[in-house]
Amino acid sequence: MQDMVSLRWFGHAAVELDFGNKKVIIDPLIKDNPKSPVKLEELIGKYDIVAVTHDHYDHLGDAVEILKGKGHFFANFDLAVHVTQTMNLPMEKVIQANVGGYIEFNGLKLALTKAVHSSEHGDPTGVVVSGDGITIYHAGDTGLFEDMKLIGQVFKPDYVLLPIGGRFTMDPEQASMAVDMLKPKKAAIPIHYNTWPLIQVNESQFAKLNEAKGYKTIMPKLGEKVQL
Q: What is the CATH number of the domain that holds 134?
A: 3.60.15.10
| Strand stretches in the chain, DSSP E | 6-9, 15-18, 23-26, 49-51, 72-74, 94-95, 103-105, 108-114, 125-131, 134-138, 159-163, 187-191, 225-227
| Cα 225 from Cα 201, distance rounded (Å) | 23
The answer to whether residue 107 sits within a structural domain is: yes
The answer to whether residue 88 sits within a structural domain is: yes
Digit-coded pLDDT (tens) for 97-111: 999 999 999 999 999
Query: Cβ neighbours of residue 21 under 8 Å, at least 6 residues apart?
Result: 107
| Cα 111 from Cα 138, distance rounded (Å) | 10
pLDDT value of residue 1: 40
pLDDT value of residue 2: 46
CB 118 within 8 A of CB 55: no
Digit-coded pLDDT (tens) for 57-101: 999 999 999 999 899 999 999 999 999 999 989 999 999 999 999
> 3: pLDDT confidence band, cut at 50, 70 and 90?
low
Digit-coded pLDDT (tens) for 5-34: 999 999 999 999 999 999 999 999 999 999
The answer to whether residue 103 sits within a structural domain is: yes
64: left (phi over 0), alpha (psi -120 to 50) or beta: alpha
Digit-coded pLDDT (tens) for 136-176: 999 999 999 999 999 999 999 999 999 999 999 999 999 99
The answer to whether residue 115 sits within a structural domain is: yes
The answer to whether residue 105 sits within a structural domain is: yes
Number of domains in the chain: 1
Comparing C-alpha atoms, which of 225, 196, 190 is closest to residue 16? 225
